[in-house]
Structure 1
Amino acid sequence: MPPFEQHPLRRILSDEIHARPPVALDTPACVTYLAFTHHEGSAEREAIHLQALATQLGLPVPTTGSGYLLLDAGGFQLKWERHNEFSSYCFFSRGSADDTDSKDHALRHVPQAWREAIPGLLIAATHIEVRSTAELPPQSVLHQQSPGGQALIASKVAGGAGWVLTDFHLHDGFSHFLVLDEHFTPRQAGRIAQRLVEIETYRVMALLAFPVAKQVGRLVSRAEDELADLMDGMDQARSAEDDRALLARLSRLAAEVERSVALTTFRFGAAAAYYRLVRQRIEDLREERLPGFSPISEFMDRRLVPAIDTCSSIARRQDDLSARIARNSQLLRTRVDIELERQNQELLAQMNRRAKIQLHLQETVEGLSVVAITYYASQLVNYVAKGAKDLIAPLTPEIITALSIPVIASFVFMGLRRMRKALAKEEGSGGH
């Protein structure tokens, strides 16, 4: 290639399309699938655990950074995948038809101590038997009951290239699928097995939201009743104290609902995403109905769809409740703010009246100050005139004092007025 500057993710994104291909299966074969949810750092311990298996089997130490690994131990193959919430371990065993009758299926060659120490919490476990229709005719098993007596779920898949039978119940801790190969190619058989284990895993992962939905449903019902009671209280509130008490209760309710939303939004969103994956994998099977039997798609419509619809309904109710509480809180805050504004206006009016009274008092005091200052100043003039009465003859001290009174009063009045204007100007400039 020309020396173009490469995007750092170009190779990774290109390889992602081809990652995690299905393992080709030759009939007869056994597949055992285990899925473990991540728990208390189990995802970080998986790499060490897988490397321990490779060392025990004399295989090269694998790398797990890509989140995908395929180990071929001769007697079995292991495909490991890490997902957001869980990691899967799919074991493939090749052998004769007699090997499919083994109790451990594809796990029979896996070291027992190693498989019992897989980190995480087991969420899905599935056995798949792939048998030839020449060896096991479909009609010989279609009308048999499942090991637990439950009705079989059966359909033709892949355009009639094979058959799938199951009851979706757990037997000895595992769900079981029987795949009858009429004319599968090895890769086609591998794809069918992969879709079946994905349907089983994603079905269970989607149902993780159902217990959460039941719990949230009780919370939502109680919160809706409490919200209705608060709205009745809002209509009956007669004072600002009543509004503030209602606002405190409404804020507490909002915090409780928002906490529930924060804790459950991911779970409900994941349930919807897992359900879409289940529907897609069922469509990929290309099922054909068998007379007298329910296909996998019909079984999921009857059993899984109601649970998913319940989760979706509860999620919508919770979001709607959160929005209603927010609207009512805003309404109540507006009422409280209006009442506070009214009280502030009354307080400002009272302050304004007090300021006017203080101004009148100040003007009265200023008038008295002019009189007092004029009186004391005229007395000073009188004392001076008496001391200089020989110099001011023929005027007398009394006449001088009388003449000085209006002059002194005018100067004092003008001085106080100028001082008041200067103070008012300084206060006005300080406010700007």
Structure 2
Amino acid sequence: MPPIQDHPLRYQLANELHARPFPTMQGPCTVVFVTIKQEHQAVHRDRDEDLRHLIDLLDRHGAAHPKPGATHHSAQIGRHQLKWEQHTEFVSYMIYSSGVSARAFDPVDFEVFPEDWLDMAPGKRVTSLVFRVQPRPPADEMTRNLVDWFVPESLAVSEVLDGSAVMAGDFRIDPAGHMRFAVFVSPETGSRRVGRIVQRLCEIETYRAMSMLGFSRSRRLSDCIGGLDTHLSEMMVQMTGGQMPADKTLSQLLTISAELEAMAARSAFRFGATSAYEALVDQRISLLREERYEGYQNFADFMLRRYEPAMRTVKSTEARLGILADRARRAGELLRTRVDVERSAQNQALLESMDRRADLALRLQTTVEGLSVVAISYYSVSLVAYAGYPLAALLGLSKGTLTAMITVPVVALVWIAVRRIRKKLH
């Protein structure tokens, strides 16, 4: 019996579950992370440019190239380990190596990415992170480090994964242009778990930054939506009061509706992506199973206070845009109904006018037909009389008598002839 055939995508779909493995790292170590995104139309970008940029970095260290069409790749570059991932809108580079610098978050750590290579990147930097991963020190020493390394006002600290580590960050960009995170690892924590914690933090900040692009879009749209809302409200008042001709109002409404639909179409992807990124941020934070540390706000608290209001603004703008488009659509339908009713009334009046004109034309036609019978009869009597004068002389009849005798028959014959012609025409 021949073996059952596999679906063509069976292995590809199964392997997708194991794609993008977590990095493995053990403290102390340094991690630098950067994401690059094209400023416009990132979804439709040339993804081969991403691969060429990666290969340029690999060639500088003699590292192996990724497979054609790859969306993730890991390689050893010198004493560092590289992890590259390609996403829908951006690409990310993570480089990590053992050991930490004497100066915490030294800008030199980021120089593992060559400056000229960064300048040739096919896009703009969205996130730039530096991690300091080290063994968990005593509580008082950790507190001193947190005070020295971060801005207390926005510092978020939490114990994660059942005490496996303490992670901290203030979500501020330092003078070197990077965002700092510290991970203090407990002695019993394995290298895979450390890698998962760092990866989750990278994802949290990357997805947070990407979702904030929707917030920027909503702020730009806010003034436009407000202006269109005011204009639409004024037009509704004019519609109610009949202050403007319906056809002119309808034209303006169609212009507003078209503008709203264009705004919605241009923003649909960004708002949808923002919602997806927000869900990923919340999911990644929940996966870390945070516990409060020494009275500091944790990452969930920070996001609730600083991040969630921005996301609510995006949702509000999206809903407001949809509601305004629906209002314009309903107003247009009402106005079109009003225009149709007015046109129907005009058409009815026009038909009545045409009926009256047709009736007058019929009466005029009847009158003309009567006059035509008289005129034709007059000339016919004259012609018959001229033809009958010789006969009248033989019979001893006068011209008047002959004319009187033939008038009635001639008129009757003309009337019958005109009537037959009229019947044939109708």
Distance 1:381 1:308, change over 3 A: same
Answering whether residue 222 of structure 2 is matched by residue 217 of structure 1, we say yes
Higher mean C-alpha displacement, 265-274 vs 153-162: 265-274
Distance 1:138 1:176, change over 3 A: farther
Which residue in 2 is equivalent to 1:130? 133
Which residue in 1 is equivalent to 2:38? 38
Q: Which amino acid aligns with 2:218?
A: A
Which residue in 1 is equivalent to 2:241? 236
Answering whether residue 210 of structure 2 is matched by residue 205 of structure 1, we say yes
* Distance apart, 1:285 and its partner CA: 0.7
* Distance apart, 1:295 and its partner CA: 0.9
Q: Is the 8 A contact 2:105 2:130 kept in 1?
A: no
Q: Secondary structure at the match of 1:168?
A: strand
Which residue in 1 is equivalent to 2:345? 342
Pick aligned residue for 2:310 from 283, 307, 311: 307
Q: Deviations over 1:379-418 (max 9, x none)?
A: 332233235558x958887777655544444443344334
Distance 1:159 1:34, change over 3 A: same
Q: Which amino acid aligns with 2:234?
A: D
Distance 1:361 1:203, change over 3 A: same
Answering whether residue 29 of structure 2 is matched by residue 26 of structure 1, we say no
Q: Is the 8 A contact 1:203 1:274 kept in 2?
A: yes
In structure 1, distance between residues paired with 2:378 and 2:71: 103
In structure 2, distance between residues paired with 1:422 and 1:160: 108
Answering whether residue 277 of structure 2 is matched by residue 261 of structure 1, we say no
Which residue in 1 is equivalent to 2:425? 423
Distance 1:420 1:280, change over 3 A: farther
Which residue in 1 is equivalent to 2:17? 17
Which residue in 2 is equivalent to 1:226? 231
In structure 2, distance between residues paired with 1:396 and 1:194: 133
Q: Is the 8 A contact 1:28 1:96 kept in 2?
A: yes
Q: Deviations over 1:347-372 (max 9, x none)?
A: 22222211111111111111111222
Answering whether residue 180 of structure 2 is matched by residue 176 of structure 1, we say yes
Distance 1:81 1:388, change over 3 A: farther
In structure 2, distance between residues paired with 1:98 and 1:121: 27
Q: Which 5+ residue runs of structure 2 have no aligned equivalent?
A: none
* Distance apart, 1:199 and its partner CA: 0.3
Q: Is the 8 A contact 2:160 2:290 kept in 1?
A: yes
TM-score by length of 1: 0.86
Answering whether residue 116 of structure 2 is matched by residue 117 of structure 1, we say no
Which residue in 1 is equivalent to 2:69? 65
Note the 1:19-418 alignment, pairs <5 A.
Answer: 19-39=19-39, 43-93=47-97, 95-97=98-100, 103-104=106-107, 107-133=110-136, 136-143=137-144, 144-151=146-153, 152-171=155-174, 172-182=176-186, 183-237=188-242, 242-387=245-390, 402=404, 404-418=406-420
TM-score by length of 2: 0.87
RMSD value over aligned CA atoms?
Answer: 2.8
Q: Deviations over 1:203-227 (max 9, x none)?
A: 1111112232223222233333322
Distance 1:11 1:411, change over 3 A: farther
Higher mean C-alpha displacement, 292-301 vs 149-158: 149-158
Q: Is the 8 A contact 2:214 2:271 kept in 1?
A: yes
Distance 1:271 1:373, change over 3 A: same
Distance 1:314 1:362, change over 3 A: same
Aligned length: 417
* Distance apart, 1:293 and its partner CA: 0.9
Q: Which 5+ residue runs of structure 1 have no aligned equivalent?
A: 425-432
In structure 1, distance between residues paired with 2:170 and 2:148: 7
Q: Deviations over 1:243-286 (max 9, x none)?
A: 33333333333333333222322222222111111000001111
In structure 2, distance between residues paired with 1:99 and 1:117: 31
Q: Deviations over 1:331-354 (max 9, x none)?
A: 222222222222222222222211
Distance 1:56 1:345, change over 3 A: same
Q: Which amino acid aligns with 2:143?
A: L
Higher mean C-alpha displacement, 51-60 vs 39-48: 39-48
Q: Deviations over 1:80-122 (max 9, x none)?
A: 22222222111122x2355895735764444443234322111
In structure 2, distance between residues paired with 1:406 and 1:389: 17
In structure 1, distance between residues paired with 2:18 and 2:408: 110
Q: Secondary structure at the match of 2:366?
A: helix
In structure 2, distance between residues paired with 1:336 and 1:206: 44
* Distance apart, 1:44 and its partner CA: 4.4
Which residue in 2 is equivalent to 1:429? none
Q: Is the 8 A contact 2:30 2:96 kept in 1?
A: yes
